[in-house]
Amino acid sequence: MQIKEIGEEGIIKAIKNINQAEASQVLIGIGDDAAVVRPEAGMLCLYACHMLVENSHFLLSKSTPFQIGYKGVSKSVADIEAMGATSRFLLVGISMSPDTPAQFIRELYEGIYAANAKGGISVIGGDISDCRGPLTISLTIIGEAAEEHLTPIDGAQEGDVLVVTGPLGAAAAGLHLLLNDITWEKYEAFREVMQQQLQPEPPWGKGQTLARSTAVTAMTDISDSLTHNLQKICKASKKGALLELKDLPVSHSARVVADKVGCNVLEWVLNGGEDFELLACVRPEKLSRVQELMKQESYNIYPIGRIIGEPGLYIKSEGEIKAVSPQGFDHFR
């Protein structure tokens, strides 16, 4: 059955029939002219929006609807965690062909709701429209944070320790397999990097824990690439950065894949992106406290360098320091 056979009301009814936990803050949710929520007392609201466009962000021939929905939430949550906040609500807009199978929409929302369930996020509304172009999905996520816990991108200070919250390179390794039609089901490492590419987990709670430490001066997620997102911190803060090559946490699975397909795993680590881990700047005198707080929550952090006063990005390898040219995902390049 195609969506043109059930119409807009049928789509909305199908979406509402998929079970999701409704937050007590939601007074009016899906189906009315607008959603109504009651913010927690004393909290600030944060908003982030992402577009997922067919053939730009996903390939229907390579991803299931469930995976597309799940990954969209992961990307959105990473932005909120990067601000030291908690993800609460989601608005979903979809523009699609009338010939789209109704089952596709159901599975897409099942992926969205499956990811939401892990973080207590509620879909509270959205919009649907027909189109003759590529399938397009818009996700607007709303988060909450105490003002003193916000971690904007522009606060990095000279001497800050650069840390990341997990190994890097797996998502880029998965993308390489995907785009080159390399058979991946046979090897465990190949399956792991494909999972990281197609249905990644966001950094649930990691940004909130870092923010509560009050030791973080700036933070962002590593969605475009380590070098690309680090450059954003440096430009916003009018600083530079020195990375230690030996300290970069390389995904074991990405390393295995790189060896088997003949690629440079460090290229994936530095410039690959979509790992959805966090990159934070931590005051050096508070680093041990941050490490202890993260350990208490069963999270890891990896020091990878420091913020310097001189503008630019540099990397140190075997005593030699070289300038780095940031690379990463850019919609218009």
Q: Where are the domains of the chain?
A: 3-149, 161-323
Q: Tell me the CA distances in angstroms from 50 to 6, 47, 130, 158, one per residue in order.
A: 27, 10, 19, 32
Residue 332 confidence (pLDDT): 41
CATH fold of the domain at 161-323: Phosphoribosyl-aminoimidazole Synthetase; Chain A, domain 2 (3.90.650)
Residues 6+ apart with CB under 8 A from 302: 163, 164, 165, 166, 167, 247, 248, 249
Per-residue pLDDT of the chain (333 residues; tens, 9 = 90+): 888 788 878 888 878 777 676 778 999 988 889 999 998 899 999 999 999 999 999 999 999 999 999 999 999 999 999 999 999 999 999 999 999 999 999 999 999 999 999 999 999 999 999 998 899 999 999 999 999 999 999 999 999 999 999 999 999 999 999 999 998 778 899 999 999 999 999 999 999 999 999 999 999 999 999 999 999 999 999 999 999 999 999 999 999 999 999 999 999 999 999 999 999 999 999 999 999 999 999 999 999 999 999 999 999 999 999 999 987 555 445
Separation of alpha carbons 178 and 163, rounded Å: 29
Residue 17 confidence (pLDDT): 75
Residue 15 confidence (pLDDT): 81
Separation of alpha carbons 226 and 168, rounded Å: 9
Neighbours of 42 (CB within 10 A): 8
Any alpha helices (H) in the chain, and if so which ranges?
Answer: 3-16, 65-82, 102-119, 170-179, 188-198, 206-212, 226-237, 252-261, 265-271, 287-296
- What is the Rg, in whole angstroms, of the alpha carbon atoms belonging to the chain? 21
Separation of alpha carbons 10 and 300, rounded Å: 45
Residue 329 confidence (pLDDT): 53
CATH topology agreement for domains 3-149 and 161-323: no
Residue 235 confidence (pLDDT): 98
The pLDDT tens digits of the residues spanning 26-80 come to 999 888 899 999 988 999 999 999 999 999 999 999 999 999 999 999 999 999 9
Vertex 86 angle, CA 85 and 91, to 5°: 110
Q: Tell me the CA distances in angstroms from 185 to 177, 188, 195, 262, 289, one per residue in order.
A: 11, 7, 11, 18, 42
Look-up: residue for tokens 């039609």? 181
Question: What CATH number belongs to 3-149?
Answer: 3.30.1330.10
The one-letter code for the residue type at 319 is G
Q: Tell me the CA distances in angstroms from 10 to 79, 169, 185, one per residue in order.
A: 32, 42, 37
Separation of alpha carbons 42 and 37, rounded Å: 15
Tokens of 202: 């966001």
